[in-house]
Structure 1
Amino acid sequence: MAASGIEDAIGQRSHGLLSRMLGQQAFWVFIAAVLACLALTALTDTFATPQNLFNVTRNFAFVGIMALGMTVVIISGGIDLSVGSVLCLSAMVLAITMNAGHPLWLGCATALAASLVVGTINGVLIAYVRIPSFVVTLGMLSVGRGTAMVLSQNKMIFQFGPDEKLLFWLGGGSTFGIANPVIVLALLAVVTALMLKWTRWGCHVFAIGSNEKAAVLTGIGVRRLKVSVFIFSSLMAGIAGILEAGWLGGVTTNLGQSMELGVIAATVIGGANLMGGAGTVFGSVVGAALIEVIRNSLILLGISTFWQGIFVGSFIVIAVAFDRIRANRESDG
């Protein structure tokens, strides 16, 4: 009897875990990405080649890193439309600093400092002045890119001083056959997931996204928390900017343009709720991977990349629609 009871308990637990996994949007996005990869492997001779897989993983890493910050923002109930411009500003500050003969570490420090300033301004205006995040970050989208144009006089920078090779290795090189940006993405994803899962900060982020008024009543410092959320988002965009500058070997003021759509799409496709209170790091990374696989498949199959925008926009609408349908069913139940 005891053994039978233990077996029943294990069976119920396994069934519960399976049910929860099947109920996660991120799981189905992961399955879709795997199926897409298998289909491309069968349909083309070039997708599964080591060089193409290396390029795919490296390319989605930049969006994936930015999606980590966007995930936290969306969970908190906000939106950050300035991440593409922050990426550009970060890369440009790095380029200008290194072009002047300074070492890589100083270039990275100044680039991240510029990103943190943007995130702080966003957070303060949203949390303390109470301007909607959509409006603030939309304005900062123009301010950030305009600042990059002013600093560079709208010129391309492709010389990075004495540490140029080190920068190129950081963004375009590999370690043990894995692109360095992918390694950075993996490390940041683990750190972000642990912060959301096991820290008070992470719990409070979910709390204000689920019900901000209730969070205020429980004593959570909502304003300070919102500032930290937007600082985190800009920090991730700043890191992505440094890596992308190293990969491209040059920085222009159109770097990261319209990248916000891809980042938001990756986050929403991965299961983040634009209403706030829901989202996972795994889902956002998988969402970024799926978008890059789609982009790569269009190129390999000879289909115009103009279709990418149609696919990405459709995926956002479909993902939000499914989330609304699921929420309505839960409320009705």
Structure 2
Amino acid sequence: MSASGKAAPAPAQKSFLGRMLRSRETGIISALAIMVIGLSFFAPDFASPNNMLNDARNFSFVGIVVLGQAMVMITGGIDLSVGSVWGLAAVSSAAFMNIGFGAIPSCILALLISAAIGLFNGLCVTKLRMPPFVPTLATMSIARALALVITRGHSIDGFLPDDSIFFNLGGGATFGLPNPFIVFVVLSVIAGLALSRTVYGRQLYAIGGNERAARLTGLEVDRLKISVYVISAVTAGIAGIIEVSYLSSAISNQGLGKELSVIAAAVIGGTALTGGEGTILGVFVGAVILEVLRNGLVLLGTDAYWQGVFVGSVIVLAVFIDQLRKGFWRTR
């Protein structure tokens, strides 16, 4: 019997299945599902509603910052200052409230300070042609030092905002979900749409894929790269402010070392350090995986000193699997 129209859908189905199997998001979502099922079996407390909600709150802080960091990495850059900007925004917002400023003006001023640091990083990378590692490493030190100057090594906890709305931002819940998680989801949707549905997003991928070609096609590369460093710093500032709201106090070491967690979440989520690759869904899941791993190790009674070893191993494994997916070794 001759070929009929009934056989036509097969290639399309195969193509769809192939795309799913080649998708990095499919791999990391599968890894997350396996982790959740395994931990639920070996550590029954892991699957309890209270633990799940606490996990959702905890990974949201890092997750918010990962959104900005991913945009920087997509352009081929990196921002090492996010942890220190996180801390500076936290103590500066608390300090402003402590001297009598309202919650909203204090938060706006803290975000403006964060944006100024991001602008400085962007200008150094674009106008002074510095490697991203250099200015962001410098501002990592500068921002942390400024946080110490503001606090003088002491915590700031005497501030009283105009009402309880500020404290609800980080410590409250809406429809049973922690407010930081809701903020994370909303910002993720906005960032995802910006990267996948707008000209701006396509331009960022073009810069990361081939910056020279992007310049030759007329893209304003410098302006675009400055914008992602500002966004990265502002997201770090948002995380710092929300954490202050949750803790009801601020100390100079808030966000200390978080830049490593942020970069790790981005890498686990499939964002390439060389630029041009990465999705918001991927980094969202990457942030969740980090917290699930940390929480699971605690519940399993793993020595806290070994947690960094497991996290580092997961990062290497994630990159290895991604290289396998892309057939890296078959091309060598």
TM-score bracket for the superposition, by shorter chain length: over 0.9
Contact 1:85-1:257 at 8 Å conserved across structures:
yes
Q: Distance in 1 between matches of 2:250 and 2:198?
A: 37
In 2: Cα distance, 1:91 partner to 1:98 partner: 11
Q: Relative to 1, partners in 2 of residues 1:13 and 1:141: Cα closer, same or farther, differing over 3 Å?
A: same
**SS of residue in 2 equivalent to 1:274:** coil
Aligned-partner Cα distance in 2 for 1:77–1:331: 25
- What is the deviation of 1:9? 4.7
The residue number in structure 1 matching 2:84 is 85
Distance 1:260 1:269 in 2: 14
Partner residue in 2 for 1:255: 254
Pairing of 1:258-297 with structure 2 (within 5 A): 258-297=257-296
Once the two structures are TM-superposed, the CA of residue 8 in structure 1 deviates from its matched residue by 4.5
Give the 3-state SS of the residue equivalent to 1:296 in structure 2: helix
Question: Is 1:194 the counterpart of 2:197 in the alignment?
Answer: no
1:225 alignment counterpart: 224
Cα deviation 1:11-60 (Å, max 9, x = unaligned): 43333222222212222111111121112212223111111111001100
Q: Give the distance between the partners of 1:155 and 1:131, measured in 2 at CA.
A: 35
Q: Which stretches in structure 1 are left out of the alignment for 5+ residues?
A: none
Regions of 4+ moved over 6 Å: none
The yes-or-no answer on 1:24 pairing with 2:35 is no
SS at match of 1:306: helix
The one-letter amino acid paired with 1:165 is S
TM-score, normalised via structure 2 length: 0.94
Q: Describe the superposition over 1:78-98 as per-residue Cα deviations: whole angstroms up to 9, x where unpaired.
A: 011110011101111110111
Q: Secondary structure at the match of 1:117?
A: helix
What SS is found at the alignment partner of 1:123?
A: helix
8 Å contact 1:262–1:312 — kept in the other structure?
no
**TM-score normalised by structure 1 residue count:** 0.94
Deviation (angstroms), 1:10: 4.0
Distance 1:54 1:152, change over 3 A: same
Partners in 1 of 2:228 and 2:330 — Cα distance? 29
- Aligned Cα RMSD in Å? 1.9
Distance 1:174 1:308 in 2: 29
Structure 2 spans left out of the alignment, 5+ residues: none
What number of residue pairs does the alignment pair up? 331
Change (3 A) 1:136 1:328: farther
1:235 aligned residue = 234
The one-letter amino acid paired with 2:158 is Q
- For 1:163, the equivalent position in structure 2 comes to 162
d(CA) in 2 for partners of 1:230 and 1:58? 25
Amino acid at match of 2:138: G
Answer yes or no: is 1:173 the counterpart of 2:172: yes
In 1, the alpha carbon distance for the partners of 2:327 and 2:220 equals 31
Contact 1:26 1:270 in 2 (8 A): yes
The letter of the residue matching 2:181 is V
Letter of the 2:191 partner, please give it: T
**1:123: how far off?**
0.3
Which whole-Å CA distance do the structure 2 matches of 1:162 and 1:323 have between them? 47
**TM-fit CA distance, 1:313:** 1.6
8 A contact 1:295–1:305 mirrored in 2: no
Q: Identity across aligned pairs (percent)?
A: 45
The 1:34–1:325 alpha-carbon spacing in structure 2 relative to 1, beyond 3 Å, is closer
Q: Is the contact between residue 273 and residue 323 of structure 1 (CA under 8 Å) also seen in structure 2?
A: no
On the 8 A contact 2:43/2:296 being kept in 1, the answer is no
Sort the Cα spacing of 1:275 and 1:8 in 2 relative to 1 into closer, same or farther, 3 A: farther
Q: Does 1:183 align with 2:221?
A: no
Cα gap change, 1:138 to 1:9, in 2 (>3 Å) = farther
Aligned to 2:75: 76
Secondary structure of 1:162's aligned partner: coil
In the other structure, the counterpart of 1:299 is 298
Deviations 1:154-178 (A, max 9, x none): 3211122233632221001100100
User: In the aligned structure 1, how far is the partner of 2:163 from the partner of 2:259?
Assistant: 28
